């Protein structure tokens, strides 16, 4: 198997603050990896630094033998490295449909947006009923579905999903994580940051523990 | 040595200013200095609003103009003598400032700019259109002047006006220092840098902005009062958009964060303005180009250039990091 | 009353053309383009120059104005957005830079073309004046209303129906989100500024026969445009168009029944009151009624 993502000695932070202190991590194609660890220890920063959304970073981030460090964020998105960030980063004044279509902004995806949208609706039928509604008026769970749906519109190679359960009622959170882990990503890798490790149990290939900006341990995901 | 020079800067300027009328009998020089005094006072107040408070107000000339028109009107219609202008200007400026600030301080930066540009234009159009009260395009003429009728046009007459604007410059400078170095200035700067932080430490942001707006407008009203008494009337040129742009250029060139920068910027551009007057448009084109270039290459105007160069020389150390992202979520 | 409605239609159409660009530039790129007024005057001169030196054919004049406006937008991209994007004091420096461009360009026009206003060729003399209940509607007014309406509709269609349009709308909503789906802020900025400039140029051509062409005649449309953009809630297309109608109506009413000198004062009061109640203008009202 080839590596979807190779990270070596990654340090990153915001302004004078250093959050990541030398991360080494490999993620294979099609692999499902859970990032666990306490708040503030660098899960989000790791995800954001992969796509270049931090103030500064150094070290190495490669994908398919090519360095990603000099590639701007919007290019990475077009190449299928999709971050589904904390807080969703949706377009609150646009409709659900526009939000989803924006996920297929890269020209190659744009042509297939209708069939992709249908697929998203199959995964999250709730979104189908809300297509014309303005995203700012959705419930928290619906917004999360829209955010994940927008990511899926891109048909990415690597999905980085930051705390999909955050701020949701336990039942909805579980169902969203279950759906996410059960997706057929067609060979794409999935990296899931999650504080609540029990949500991941039996659903992923590996668990990577992040502590104080470093990789503190790697365990196989427990079988279901 | 530079520190000593620093402390002596304003006393020296003051001494030169006081000595000037004893050494010149050229009324042209005095007239220039009077214009300089007006522009300098206006710019000081403007920089408090735009620099210290970070409010993008373009309404400065509106307050000057409103006060000037009111004083001239009161003098012509109700025989107000010139020495009643300053209190009228002060109160009216403060009041007009309050009226504008009440809705405006709640607005985000650019809304403030839009609203205040509109205010100046609206005032300018109104006085031109209202011929019965404000004399239309000609403006108001025949108001009482600080220059006694017997001294009109004489150098001695200009000395009266020179003394008058001198007093106003002193008021403007004292107001500047009082606000900028006091608690109000601290609150405003904190709010400018980060509204959440300011709120968290209990600063009432709208109130602080309201205060600085009313205080500066009052002083601007004072300048308007002087202008009415100097011109013995008022006309629409006080609301001129191009004057506004030139004044703005003065602040930008000098750097908005220090009275010294404002002094230099005002003096420099006024000198260019007056001495190359014959070349008209090209001068203003050049001014536009200078402003643009300065803005693109300096972060805080000419006065901030030394600090910027120091930063550049010292601070390339962290460059190994890839600066990833521009201003998020503007 | 009929004449009030006719001027309302005329002004609303033209103001929306000017205001949409200002509004999108602010919401999508985060700066206030105070050179929009000189974009207007420069485009008017471009169209006038073409009418004298190339051909008085309405189509030629229209295209010339559009191209000059679009080119001016491109220049603002190169001179203001590109160098300052992501730099310190972006807000204030873009404001100063666009003002500097306004100052320089206005005087450049004065220097080249002189202070006297130029008359514009009639663009719509192939239309004949019509009469609506006793009020005469000139060919220019009809043409301007028609053309501007078509343009606004086309623009809205582009914005809501095309890929780039969606990109621009996404950018006005959430910059980080836009980057994450692959929208390049610079490409979008170039598109926004060029289209804004072109729309502004078109407005200048449509108003050309009604007013004159002179070096400083962009200031008024810009102030009206800013008023409309602000009232509409910066970034909201629907809000902007509604605001254009309101501002045009208030202007027409004030001019007819109170006097032209009070137009700006009335608009100023309107804005102050609306913003005091709803700081985000009409878009704010639209949002609360939707929720």
Query: pLDDT tens across B165-195, in order?
Result: 999 999 999 999 999 988 898 888 888 888 8
Nearest chain B Cα distance for residue C2, angstroms: 25
SS3 C85: coil
Scored b (16 or more CB within 10 A) or e, C216-229 reads bbbbbbbbbbbbbb
Q: What pLDDT does residue B248 have?
A: 86
Q: What pLDDT does residue A151 have?
A: 93
Chain A neighbors of B320, CB-CB under 8 A: 58
Whether residues C261 and B281 touch (CB distance < 8 A) is answered with no
Query: Cβ neighbours of residue B196 under 8 Å, at least 6 residues apart?
Result: none
Say if CB B2 and CB B133 are below 8 A apart. no
Interface of A with C in 101-120 (CB under 8 A): 101-103, 105-107, 110
Nearest CA in chain B to A71: B324
CA B19 to chain centre: 25
Q: What pLDDT does residue C71 have?
A: 97
- ipTM field: 0.90
Interface of B with C in 86-115 (CB under 8 A): 102-104, 106-111, 113-115
Share of chain C above pLDDT 70, in %: 97
Confidence of residue B277 (pLDDT cuts 50, 70, 90): low
pTM given for the model: 0.81
C169/A contact by beta carbon, under 8 A: yes
pLDDT at residue C284 is higher than 70: no
pLDDT at residue B316 is higher than 50: no
Say if CB A57 and CB B322 are below 8 A apart. yes
Chain A neighbors of C179, CB-CB under 8 A: 53, 73-74, 77
Q: What pLDDT does residue C288 have?
A: 54
Residue C38 tokens, joined: 């000189």
Query: pLDDT tens across C3-15, in order?
Result: 888 889 888 988 9
Nearest chain B Cα distance for residue A57, angstroms: 5
B311/C contact by beta carbon, under 8 A: no
B125/C contact by beta carbon, under 8 A: yes
Nearest CA in chain C to B256: C92
Whether residues B121 and C223 touch (CB distance < 8 A) is answered with yes
For strands A32-36 and A189-193, give the pairing: parallel
How large is the average pLDDT for residues B286-303? 79
C162/A contact by beta carbon, under 8 A: no
Confidence of residue C253 (pLDDT cuts 50, 70, 90): very high
Task: Please count the residues of chain C.
Answer: 291
**Residues of chain A in Cβ contact (below 8 Å) with chain B:** 49, 52-58, 69-70, 73
**Chains sharing 3 or more CB pairs under 8 A with chain C:** A, B
Scored b (16 or more CB within 10 A) or e, B114-152 reads bbbbbbbbbbbbbbbbeeeebbbeebbeebbbbbeeeee
Q: What pLDDT does residue B1 have?
A: 45
Query: pLDDT tens across A111-155, in order?
Result: 999 999 999 999 999 999 999 998 988 988 899 999 999 999 998
Sign for the CA dihedral angle at B143, B146, B148, B151 comes to: negative
d(CA C188, CA C82): 12
Say if CB C36 and CB C18 are below 8 A apart. yes
Q: What pLDDT does residue C249 have?
A: 94
Chain C neighbors of B129, CB-CB under 8 A: 259-262
Query: pLDDT tens across A55-65, in order?
Result: 889 999 998 88
d(CA A127, CA A131): 6
Nearest CA in chain B to C113: B281
Whether residues A73 and B321 touch (CB distance < 8 A) is answered with no
- CB nearest to B289's CB, from C91, C104, C271: C104
d(CA C150, CA C172): 24
* Phi, psi at A217, each rounded to 5°: 175, 150
Say if CB B179 and CB B208 are below 8 A apart. no
Picking from A49, A56, A87 by the largest number of B CB atoms within 10 A of its own CB, the best residue to mutate is: A56
Whether residues B295 and C93 touch (CB distance < 8 A) is answered with yes
Nearest chain C Cα distance for residue A52, angstroms: 10
Query: pLDDT tens across B108-133, in order?
Result: 666 777 778 888 888 888 888 888 88
Low-confidence ranges of chain A (pLDDT < 50): 224
Nearest chain A Cα distance for residue C98, angstroms: 28
Give whichever of B36-45, B78-87, C249-258 has the largest mean pLDDT: B36-45
Distance between start and end Cα atoms, chain A: 23
SS3 B90: helix
Q: What pLDDT does residue B123 have?
A: 87
Chain B neighbors of A70, CB-CB under 8 A: 322
Query: pLDDT tens across C193-217, in order?
Result: 999 999 999 999 988 877 778 887 8
d(CA B83, CA C47): 54
Q: What pLDDT does residue B178 have?
A: 93
Whether residues B296 and C175 touch (CB distance < 8 A) is answered with no
A161/C contact by beta carbon, under 8 A: no
Of B88-97, C123-132, C198-207, C278-287, which gets the smallest average pLDDT?
C278-287
Helices within chain B (DSSP H only)? 2-23, 27-47, 60-78, 85-104, 109-129, 131-134, 155-181, 183-193, 195-200, 205-231, 241-254, 259-275, 281-297, 305-314
d(CA A183, CA A123): 9
How large is the average pLDDT for residues B23-33? 86
Q: What is the pLDDT of chain B when averaged over all its residues?
A: 83
**Residues of chain B in Cβ contact (below 8 Å) with chain A:** 318, 320-325
Confidence of residue C285 (pLDDT cuts 50, 70, 90): low
pLDDT at residue B281 is higher than 80: no
Share of chain B above pLDDT 90, in %: 26
**Chains sharing 3 or more CB pairs under 8 A with chain A:** B, C
- CB nearest to A52's CB, from B318, B320, B324: B324
Residue A219: strand pairing partners: A207
Chain B neighbors of C110, CB-CB under 8 A: 280-281
Give whichever of A24-38, A173-187, B150-164, B213-227 has the largest mean pLDDT: B213-227
Question: A108-113 long-range CB contacts below 8 Å, 24 or more apart?
Answer: A109/A153, A109/A154, A109/A155, A110/C163, A112/A155, A113/A153
d(CA B68, CA B92): 10
Whether residues A136 and C287 touch (CB distance < 8 A) is answered with yes
d(CA A94, CA A85): 18
The residue with tokens 């279950």 is: A178
Q: What is the DSSP letter of C260?
A: G
Q: What is the pLDDT of chain C when averaged over all its residues?
A: 86
Residue A134: strand pairing partners: A95
Nearest chain B Cα distance for residue A19, angstroms: 13
Residue B214: strand pairing partners: none
What is the torsion angle, in degrees rounded to the nearest 10, for the CA atoms of residue C71, residue C77, residue C78 and residue C83? 170
pLDDT at residue C67 is higher than 90: yes
Chain B neighbors of C261, CB-CB under 8 A: 125-126, 128-130
Q: What pLDDT does residue B330 have?
A: 31
Interface of A with C in 118-157 (CB under 8 A): 134, 136-137, 150, 154
Query: pLDDT tens across B71-93, in order?
Result: 999 999 998 888 999 999 999 99
- CB nearest to C179's CB, from A74, A106, A150: A74
Nearest chain A Cα distance for residue B191, angstroms: 21
Angle subtended by helix axes C263-277 and C219-232, to nearest 10: 20
Chain B neighbors of C83, CB-CB under 8 A: 296
Q: What pLDDT does residue B311 have?
A: 74
Nearest chain B Cα distance for residue A181, angstroms: 30
Nearest CA in chain C to B122: C264
d(CA B246, CA B203): 34
Whether residues A52 and B318 touch (CB distance < 8 A) is answered with no
Q: What pLDDT does residue B279 have?
A: 62
Q: What pLDDT does residue B300 have?
A: 66
B295/C contact by beta carbon, under 8 A: yes
* Phi, psi at A178, each rounded to 5°: -60, -45
Nearest chain B Cα distance for residue A17, angstroms: 12
d(CA B257, CA B2): 19
The residue with tokens 């039996």 is: A202
d(CA C29, CA C184): 12
Residue A218: strand pairing partners: A208
Whether residues A82 and C180 touch (CB distance < 8 A) is answered with yes
């Amino acid at each position: 198997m080839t590596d979807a993502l190779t990270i070596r000695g990654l340090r990153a932070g915001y302004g004078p603050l250093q959050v990541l202190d030398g991360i080494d991590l490999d993620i294979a194609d099609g692999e499902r990896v859970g990032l666990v660890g306490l708040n503030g220890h660098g899960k989000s920063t790791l995800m954001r630094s992969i796509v270049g959304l931090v103030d500064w970073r150094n070290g190495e981030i490669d994908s398919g033998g090519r360095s990603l460090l000099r590639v701007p964020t919007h290019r990475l998105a077009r190449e299928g490295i999709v971050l589904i960030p904390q807080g969703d980063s949706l377009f609150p004044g646009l409709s659900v449909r526009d939000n989803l279509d924006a996920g297929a902004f890269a020209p190659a995806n744009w042509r297939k947006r209708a069939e992709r949208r249908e697929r998203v609706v199959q995964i999250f039928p709730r979104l189908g009923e809300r297509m014309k509604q303005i995203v700012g008026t959705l419930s928290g769970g619906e917004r999360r579905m829209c955010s994940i749906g927008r990511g899926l519109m891109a048909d990415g190679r690597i999905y980085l999903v930051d705390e999909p359960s955050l701020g949701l009622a336990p039942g909805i959170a579980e169902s969203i994580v279950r759906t996410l882990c059960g997706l057929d990503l067609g060979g794409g890798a999935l990296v899931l940051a999650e504080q609540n490790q029990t949500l991941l149990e039996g659903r992923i290939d590996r668990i990577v523990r992040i502590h104080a900006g470093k990789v503190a341990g790697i365990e196989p995901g427990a079988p279901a | 040595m530079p520190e000593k020079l620093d402390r002596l800067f304003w006393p020296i300027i003051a001494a030169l200013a006081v000595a000037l009328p004893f050494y010149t009998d050229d009324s042209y020089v005095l007239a220039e200095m009077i214009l300089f005094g007006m522009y300098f006072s206006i710019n000081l107040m403007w920089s408090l609003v735009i620099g210290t408070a970070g409010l993008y107000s373009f309404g400065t000339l509106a307050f000057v103009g409103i006060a000037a028109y009111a004083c001239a009107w009161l003098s012509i219609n109700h025989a107000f003598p010139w020495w009643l202008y300053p209190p009228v200007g002060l109160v009216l400026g403060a009041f007009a400032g309050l009226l504008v600030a009440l809705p405006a301080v709640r607005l985000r930066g650019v809304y403030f700019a839009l609203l205040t540009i509109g205010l100046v234009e609206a005032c300018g159009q109104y006085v031109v259109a209202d011929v019965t009260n404000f004399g239309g395009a000609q403006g108001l003429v025949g108001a009482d002047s600080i220059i006694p009728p017997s001294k009109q046009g004489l150098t001695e007459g200009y000395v009266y006006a020179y003394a008058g604007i001198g007093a106003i410059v002193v008021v403007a400078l004292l107001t500047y220092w009082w606000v900028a170095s006091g608690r109000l200035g601290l609150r405003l700067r904190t709010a400018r840098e980060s509204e959440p932080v300011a709120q968290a430490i209990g600063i009432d942001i709208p109130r602080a902005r309201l205060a600085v707006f009313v205080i500066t407008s009052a002083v601007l009203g004072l300048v308007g009062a002087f202008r009415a008494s100097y011109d013995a009337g008022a006309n629409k040129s006080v609301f001129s958009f191009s004057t506004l742009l030139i004044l703005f250029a003065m602040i930008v060139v000098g750097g908005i964060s220090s009275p010294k920068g404002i002094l230099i910027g005002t003096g420099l551009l006024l000198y260019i303005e007056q001495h190359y007057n014959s070349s008209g448009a090209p001068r203003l084109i050049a001014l536009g180009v200078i402003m643009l270039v300065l803005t693109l290459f300096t972060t805080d105007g000419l006065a901030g250039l030394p600090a910027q160069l120091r930063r550049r020389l010292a601070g390339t150390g962290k460059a190994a990091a890839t600066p990833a992202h521009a201003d998020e979520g503007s | 009353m009929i004449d009030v409605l006719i001027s309302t239609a005329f002004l609303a159409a033209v103001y929306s053309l000017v205001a949409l660009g200002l509004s999108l530039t602010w919401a999508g790129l985060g700066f206030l383009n105070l050179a929009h007024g000189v974009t207007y005057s420069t485009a008017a001169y471009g169209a006038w120059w073409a009418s004298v030196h190339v051909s008085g054919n309405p189509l030629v004049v229209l295209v010339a104005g559009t191209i000059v406006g679009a080119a001016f937008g491109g220049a603002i991209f190169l001179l203001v957005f590109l160098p300052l994007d992501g730099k310190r004091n972006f807000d204030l420096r873009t404001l100063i830079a666009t003002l500097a461009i306004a100052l320089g360009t206005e005087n450049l026009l004065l220097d080249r073309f002189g202070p006297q206003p130029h008359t514009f060729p009639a663009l719509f003399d192939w239309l004949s004046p019509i009469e609506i209940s006793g009020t005469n509607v000139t060919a220019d007014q009809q043409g301007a209303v028609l053309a501007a309406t078509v343009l606004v509709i086309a623009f809205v269609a582009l914005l809501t129906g095309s890929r780039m349009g969606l990109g621009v709308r996404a950018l006005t909503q959430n910059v980080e989100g836009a980057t994450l789906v692959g929208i390049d802020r610079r490409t979008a900025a170039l598109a926004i500024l060029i289209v804004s400039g072109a729309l502004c140029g078109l407005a200048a051509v449509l108003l050309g026969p009604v007013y004159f062409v002179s070096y400083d005649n962009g200031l008024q449309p810009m102030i009206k445009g800013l008023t409309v953009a602000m009232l509409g809630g910066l970034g909201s297309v629907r809000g902007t168009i509604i605001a254009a109608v309101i501002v045009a109506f208030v202007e027409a009413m004030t001019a007819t029944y109170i006097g032209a000198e009070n137009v700006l004062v009335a608009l100023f009061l309107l804005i102050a009151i609306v913003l005091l109640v709803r700081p985000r203008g009409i878009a704010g009202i639209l949002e609360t009624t939707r929720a």
